[in-house]
Amino acid sequence: MDGFRRSSLILLCLAIGIGAAYAQQPPPALVAQLMNAAGTLRGQGQNATPAGPHKLLTYRVHQLALSQPITVTVNGKSVTTSTAFRLTVTGGPFAVRAIPAVIEIDGVAAGAALESADQSALRFVTFDPALLHQGARVTVAYGEVRSDLPETLNLH
């Protein structure tokens, strides 16, 4: 896919994402809490060689149990769920800056990530059970500058 087509696709997905995101947002306090919450490890990578301009190393995927169900919009549909998923991408350091690190899954923007306290990881929470799927390609993007995680997601 050439750069323009890729950008156009991302723009389209971003537009769809914005529309969907406005529909029903999870409570901010819940998202912030889930950034650090304990969960069940569903998969982790093994790469130890820094990759891309952001020196990505590897990833972890946690499944997080919510204390009570919430209703959120996922892919344009309202769903009630008791489960969230957290993707942690290590590497960096990920400097704290104005432009957020955007997590892309299979080339599509999924959302903004939050840096860990020591800036060695990015964390991203989703309520979409299908987003972080087996074999998914993960990219970290700050505007035009992208780094691809050198391994696809391997979940169990």
Partner 1 sequence: MKKTLHALLLLVVLVAPAALAQDPTAPGPFAVTREEYNFGDTAFTPANFPGPVELLASVHHPTDLTGGPFPLVVFLHGRHATCFNGQGAAFLEWPCSAGRTPIPSYQGYDYVGALLASQGYFVVSISANGVNAVDNTVFDLGALARAELIQKHLDILKGFTTSGGAPFGTRFVGKIDLTRIGTMGHSRGGEGVARHFTFNISQGSPYGIRAVLPLAPTDFNRTLVNNVPLLVMLPYCDGDVSDLQGVHFFDDVRYNVPGDPASKHYVLVMGADHDFFNTVWSPSSGIPGSADDWIAFVPAGESDSFCGKGKANQRLTESQQRAVSTGFFTAFFRTFVGGETQFLPILTGDAPPPPGVTRNLHVTFHAPDNPFLRRDLNRFLTTTELSTNVLGGAVTPNALSPYEICGGPSPFPPRCIPSANNSQQPHTTPSARSNAPGLSQLHSGWTSASGSLQDDLPPSLRNISGFQAIQFRVVVDFSDPRNVTGVPQDFHVALTDTSGFTASVAVSSVSSALYFPPGETIVVPKIVLSTVRIPLSAFRRVNLNAVKSVAFQFDQKPQGNVLIDDVAFASAQ
Question: Which residues are near partner 1 by CB under 8 A?
Answer: 3-4, 7, 11, 14-15, 18-19, 21-22, 25, 27-29, 31-33, 35, 53, 95-100, 102, 112-119, 125, 142-145
To partner 1, the closest distance from the beta carbon of 149 in angstroms equals 17
Largest CA distance in the chain: 44
To partner 1, the closest distance from the beta carbon of 69 in angstroms equals 19
Rounded-to-integer distance, Cα 87 and Cα 138, Å: 10
Collapse the DSSP code of 64 into the 3-class scheme (helix H, G, I; strand E, B; otherwise coil) and give the result.
strand
Closest CA to 97 of 142, 50, 57: 142
Which is closer to partner 1, CB of 29 or CB of 48? 29
Which is closer to partner 1, CB of 38 or CB of 117? 117
To partner 1, the closest distance from the beta carbon of 153 in angstroms equals 22
Rounded-to-integer distance, Cα 90 and Cα 94, Å: 9
Rounded-to-integer distance, Cα 103 and Cα 56, Å: 12
To partner 1, the closest distance from the beta carbon of 66 in angstroms equals 15
